[in-house]
Chain A
Amino acid sequence: MAAAIRPAERRSAAVRSSVGQKIAMAVTGTILLLFVIAHFVGNLKVYMGAEEFNHYAEGLRTFGSPFLARGQLLWLARIGLIAAVLVHIGAALSLTLRSRRARDVGYRKTESLAFSYASRTMVWGGLTILAFVVFHLLHLTFGTVHPEFVHGDAYSNFVTGFRSWPVSIAYMVAMVPLGFHIYHGTWSAFQTMGVNNPRYNAWRRPLAVTIALIVSAGNAAFPMAVLSGLVA
Chain B
Amino acid sequence: MRLTLHVWRQDNPTSKGRFETYVVDRVSEHSSFLEVLDVLNEQLLEQGKVPVAFDHDCREGICGSCGFVIDGQPHGPLPDTTVCQLHMRHYTDGAQIWIEPWRATAFPVIKDLVVDRTAFDRIIQAGGFISVRTGSAPDANATPIGKINADLAMDAAECIGCGACVAACPNASAMLFTAAKIAHLASLPQGQPERFERVVNMVATHDDELFGHCTNHGACQNACPKAISVDYIARLNADLRKAATRRPGSDA
Residues of A within 8 A of B (CB): 1-2, 4-5, 7-8, 10-11, 13-23, 95, 98-99, 101-116, 119-120, 122, 184, 187-188, 190-196, 198, 201
Contacts and interface: CB of A to CB of B under 8 A. Distances in A.
B213 A4 contact: no
Contacts of A114: 73, 168, 218-219, 222-223
Contacts of A116: 217-218
Interface residues of B, number: 60
Nearest to A110: B72
A109 B74 CA distance: 11
Closest 8 CB pairs of A and B: A194-B238, A102-B212, A196-B234, A7-B248, A109-B72, A18-B213, A14-B244, A102-B172
B121 to A, nearest CB: 9
B2 interface: no
B105 A195 contact: no
B23 interface: no
14 contacts: A1-B125, A8-B248, A13-B204, A18-B212, A18-B213, A19-B214, A23-B241, A102-B105, A107-B103, A110-B72, A113-B73, A114-B168, A116-B218, A191-B234
B103 A10 contact: no
Contacts of B219: 113-115
Interface stretch (B42-50, B138-146, B194-202): B194-202
B67 to A, nearest CB: 14
A4 B126 contact: yes
Contacts, number: 181
A120 B104 CA distance: 18
A115 B105 CA distance: 21
Which has the most chain B C-beta neighbours within 10 Å: A8, A103, A120, A192? A103
Contact of A99 (B19, B196, B212, B223): B212
A193 to B, nearest CB: 7
A117 to B, nearest CB: 11
Contacts of B105: 101-104
B213 A99 contact: yes
Interface string B11-36: 00000000100000000000000000
A9 to B, nearest CB: 9
Given A2-B201, A10-B248, A14-B200, A19 B240 contact: yes
A102 B207 CA distance: 10
A2 B170 contact: no
B236 A7 contact: no
Main SS of the interface on chain A? helix
A120 B244 CA distance: 29
Contacts of B127: 4
Contacts of A119: 170, 215-218
A52 to B, nearest CB: 40
B204 A191 contact: no
B82 interface: no
A192 B241 CA distance: 9
A144 B206 CA distance: 48
A17 B240 contact: yes
B98 interface: yes
Contacts of A95: 171, 213, 215
A195 B121 CA distance: 29
B170 A120 contact: yes
B103 A22 contact: no
Nearest to B214: A22
B116 interface: no
Given A2-B208, A194-B234, A194-B238, A103 B215 contact: no
Given A99-B170, A99-B172, A122-B215, A195 B234 contact: yes
Given A98-B212, A108-B98, A22 B237 contact: yes
A120 B217 contact: yes
A142 B8 CA distance: 57
Given A4-B197, A113-B170, A195-B234, 12 more contacts: A13-B200, A14-B241, A95-B213, A95-B215, A98-B171, A103-B212, A115-B217, A119-B217, A187-B216, A193-B238, A194-B241, A198-B231
